[in-house]
């Protein structure tokens, strides 16, 4: 295409190997100084049997299938194709595919493709016992990739090509988990996620967002269980779904704040995100909760009327059973040198209250849990 649509000028091909989202990828970049594309042409570029316009077909020939097929092949390999173009200046197409091929051999205990997944006389009955994942994505290639990958990992898969169909199927099927694309026509993924979480019958279904849009804070604030980037890492998606659909203990957070409005805000935020909240406004109440429960994270206010928060932190780190619990400290002011020296190595994150947003706090808590961060010193967040 670059050569065909560049009668005078240059065509450049670049190939790189790069690390992206924790995996090795090959990047193919084709740039030209040809005719370029208008905004209207860009919108329909990957549609089958579509060319820039009738004059393009007459002048250059072609069926309008080349880019459609390229996109399908790319996504079937777990990759992605993107482009940039300006009318009269040229175009750049970028193709990302995994650097390492995955052999399509059945794993031990997995059937060959085309055979029944079950091992007994009633494969349909056996399959009914598998966890169901609802894939909401308007891209048929993504549907195919996830269906094959998840089936090999022991899931049943149903697909929806639009947000409205996804909500309908979620109500009918009550899946164990949902994967949700953000960029869909008519009803985008954020709207679908909000609808799911506002419906009492669907709110507890974990939702994994799959998107090229980088907006983790919004995803977590709306109740997403996880947020994974595209291009798709199929095995990572399967691993995440395996974890969130398995029987796991209830997530618990200990909130130790005595200022009423901040206490209510943090507790409500965590409960809406599916956490069991252990509430405390004094040190003794917090200790009582710790003796009876095992929270995954503690959110503590630095300035409290009836306790010294720094003494409380030091006591936590001296206790064998509590020293490894991630601790997020909220503060109305910047830490002075003495505070820093007392806290160094004891707190995962210090967040100034003035700069704190609900979305940012949720993302920070998810990050601390996911990364299982050790006690490597203080990091201050100014906003």
User: Which token pair is 328?
Assistant: 């997020």
- Residue ending a domain, choose from 229, 245, 261: 245
User: Which token pair is 355?
Assistant: 């700069």
- The domain in which residue 278 lies consists of 252-381
88 and 149 both lie in a single domain: no
> What is the model's pLDDT at position 108?
45
* pLDDT band, residue 351 (cuts 50/70/90): low
What is the average pLDDT across 103-108?
47
What is the average pLDDT across 98-115?
52
How many alpha carbons fall within 13 Å on the CB side of residue 250?
11
Q: What is the CATH number of the domain that holds 366?
A: 3.40.50.2300
Which sign, positive or negative, has the C-alpha torsion 144, 148, 150, 151? Answer: positive
216 and 273 both lie in a single domain: no
- Residue ending a domain, choose from 98, 116, 139: 98
Q: Which of 29-33, 150-154, 204-208, 369-373 has the lowest mean pLDDT?
A: 369-373
Among the listed residues 19, 21, 16, the one whose alpha carbon sits nearest the alpha carbon of residue 231: 21
Digit-coded pLDDT (tens) for 207-238 = 999 988 778 888 888 889 898 988 878 888 88
Share of the chain above pLDDT 90, in %: 20
Task: Flag whether 112 is in a domain.
Answer: no
* pLDDT band, residue 164 (cuts 50/70/90): very high
330 and 282 both lie in a single domain: yes
What is the average pLDDT across 259-269?
86
More confident residue, 100 or 32: 32
Spatial distance between the Cα atoms of 13 and 94, rounded to a whole number of angstroms: 10
Task: Flag whether 121 is in a domain.
Answer: no
Q: Which of 173-182, 196-205, 309-318, 359-368 has the lowest mean pLDDT?
A: 359-368
Spatial distance between the Cα atoms of 128 and 275, rounded to a whole number of angstroms: 29
90 and 153 both lie in a single domain: no
- Residue ending a domain, choose from 201, 217, 245: 245
* pLDDT band, residue 374 (cuts 50/70/90): very low
Asked whether 53 and 37 are in contact (CB, 8 A), the reply is no
As to burial, measured by CB atoms within 10 angstroms (0-12 exposed, 13-18 middle, 19+ buried), residue 139 is middle
272 and 365 both lie in a single domain: yes
240 and 259 both lie in a single domain: no
Asked whether 192 and 169 are in contact (CB, 8 A), the reply is no
Task: Flag whether 107 is in a domain.
Answer: no
> What is the model's pLDDT at position 173?
92
236 and 266 both lie in a single domain: no
DSSP string of 339-368, one letter each residue: HHHHHTTT-SEEEEGGG--HHHHHHHHHHH
Task: Flag whether 262 is in a domain.
Answer: yes
> What is the model's pLDDT at position 334?
67
Task: Flag whether 220 is in a domain.
Answer: yes
> What is the model's pLDDT at position 126?
44
Average pLDDT, the chain: 77
Q: What is the CATH number of the domain that holds 65?
A: 3.30.565.10
Task: Flag whether 238 is in a domain.
Answer: yes
Residue 116 CA, chain-centre distance (Å), reads: 32
38 and 152 both lie in a single domain: no
Query: What is the Rg, in whole angstroms, of the alpha carbon atoms belonging to the chain?
Result: 26
335 and 267 both lie in a single domain: yes
Q: Which of 227-236, 251-260, 299-308 has the lowest mean pLDDT?
A: 299-308
Spatial distance between the Cα atoms of 325 and 264, rounded to a whole number of angstroms: 22
* pLDDT band, residue 172 (cuts 50/70/90): very high
DSSP state at residue 355: G
209 and 262 both lie in a single domain: no
User: Residue 377 pLDDT > 70, yes or no?
Assistant: no
146 and 234 both lie in a single domain: yes
* pLDDT band, residue 196 (cuts 50/70/90): very high
Other beta carbons within 10 angstroms of residue 76's beta carbon come to 14
User: Residue 249 pLDDT > 90, yes or no?
Assistant: no
User: Residue 154 pLDDT > 70, yes or no?
Assistant: yes
> What is the model's pLDDT at position 353?
59
Task: Flag whether 110 is in a domain.
Answer: no
221 and 292 both lie in a single domain: no
How many alpha carbons fall within 13 Å on the CB side of residue 292?
9
182 DSSP β-pair partners: none
β pairing state of 90-98 and 23-32: antiparallel
More confident residue, 21 or 111: 21
Q: What is the largest CA-CA distance in the chain?
A: 82
Task: Flag whether 2 is in a domain.
Answer: no
Q: Which of 257-266, 298-307, 358-367 has the lowest mean pLDDT?
A: 358-367
Domain count for the chain: 3
Asked whether 145 and 76 are in contact (CB, 8 A), the reply is yes
More confident residue, 367 or 203: 203
Digit-coded pLDDT (tens) for 31-89 = 999 888 888 888 777 776 555 554 544 444 455 677 888 888 888 887 888 888 888 88
> What is the model's pLDDT at position 54?
46
């Amino acid at each position: 295409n670059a050569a065909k649509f560049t009668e005078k000028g240059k065509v450049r091909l670049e190939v790189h190997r790069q690390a992206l989202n924790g995996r090795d990828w090959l990047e193919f970049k084709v740039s030209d100084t040809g005719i370029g594309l208008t905004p209207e042409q860009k919108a329909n570029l990957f549609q089958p049997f579509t060319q820039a316009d009738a004059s393009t077909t007459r002048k250059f020939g072609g069926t309008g299938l080349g880019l459609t097929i390229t996109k399908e092949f790319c996504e079937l390999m777990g990759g992605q194709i993107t482009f940039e173009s300006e009318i009269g200046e040229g175009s750049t197409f970028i193709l990302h595919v995994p650097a390492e091929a995955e052999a399509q051999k059945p794993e031990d205990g997995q059937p060959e493709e085309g055979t029944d997944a079950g091992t007994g006389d009633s494969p349909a009955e056996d399959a009914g016992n598998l966890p169901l994942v609802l894939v909401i994505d308007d891209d048929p290639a993504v549907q195919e990739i996830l269906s094959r990958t998840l089936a090999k990992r022991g899931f049943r898969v149903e697909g929806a090509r639009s947000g409205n169909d996804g909500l309908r199927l979620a109500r009918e099927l009550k899946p164990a988990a949902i994967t949700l694309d953000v960029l869909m026509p008519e009803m985008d993924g954020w709207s679908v996620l909000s609808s799911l979480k506002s419906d009492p019958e669907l709110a507890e279904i974990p939702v994994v967002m799959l998107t090229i849009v980088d907006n983790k804070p919004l995803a977590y604030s709306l109740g997403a269980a996880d947020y994974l980037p595209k291009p798709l890492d199929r095995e990572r998606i399967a691993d995440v779904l395996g974890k969130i659909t398995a029987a796991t203990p209830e997530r618990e957070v200990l909130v130790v704040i005595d200022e009423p409005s901040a206490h209510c805000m943090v507790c409500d935020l965590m409960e809406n995100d599916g956490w069991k909240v252990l509430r405390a406004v004094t040190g003794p109440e917090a200790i009582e909760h710790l003796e009876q429960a095992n929270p995954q994270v503690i959110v503590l206010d630095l300035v409290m009327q009836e306790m010294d928060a720094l003494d409380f932190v030091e006591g936590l780190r001296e206790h064998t059973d509590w020293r490894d619990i991630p601790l997020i400290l909220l503060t109305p002011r910047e830490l002075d040198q003495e505070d820093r020296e007392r806290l160094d190595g004891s707190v995962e994150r210090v967040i100034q209250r003035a700069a704190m947003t609900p979305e940012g706090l949720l993302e920070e808590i998810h990050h601390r849990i996911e990364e299982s961060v050790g006690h490597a010193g203080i990091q201050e967040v100014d906003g």
